[in-house]
Amino acid sequence: MAKKVLDFVQRRKESIEKKRRNFERIMFENVMGVYTAVDQGGAIYSVELIDISHEGCLFQVPWDFKNEKKFEKDTEINFRMYFTKKSFIPVVVKIKYGHEYVDETGRTNMRYGAEFDSSLPSFKAVKTFIEFLYQFAEYSAIDRGDPRAFFL
């Protein structure tokens, strides 16, 4: 019988990644989700940011295949990432793929994977934000009602 060796470093990385994605979902649903917009062809409309990483993001938009066109691969999209009601960071993303997605309410969406244009000066701010998400996932703790403060 072969002995199974656990790779604790890999398990820790997986745990941190899971925690990061969970935090992103909370952040996007409760803080940023309503503030992310696409500025395309003179029209600005909200999108739901699903995931973000150093390389790019995953977002979705409500989709009616009869009346709306898909973003084609390699299309550049102007993103507005709002952090307050009136101020945003402009970001350009390039569509890498798109597919239909039906959410838990039965609504059809288009989900797009996109790559950031990291050459723009405004990407420095987005990069810092993304790094914060990664650091938060690694070092945050869950408040379980313990009245004592502690430091890692």
Note the pLDDT of residue 69.
81
Note the pLDDT of residue 143.
75
Instruction: Return the bridge partners of 56, or none.
Output: 115
Give me the count of residues in the chain. 152
Note the pLDDT of residue 121.
95
DSSP line for 83-130:
SSSS-EEEEEEEEEEEEEEE-TTS-EEEEEEEEE-TTSTTHHHHHHHH
Note the pLDDT of residue 34.
40
What tokens appear for 107 in the block?
């609504």
**What are the boundaries of each domain within the chain?**
18-134
Q: Which amino acid is at 102?
A: V
Q: Which fold has domain 18-134?
A: Thrombin, subunit H (2.40.10)
Distance, CA of 115 to CA of 129 (rounded, Å): 16
Note the pLDDT of residue 49.
87
Contact present, 101 and 111 (Cβ < 8 Å): yes
Consecutive 10-residue averages of pLDDT for the chain (152 residues): 67 75 63 59 81 90 81 91 84 94 90 96 92 82 70 58
Contact present, 130 and 81 (Cβ < 8 Å): no
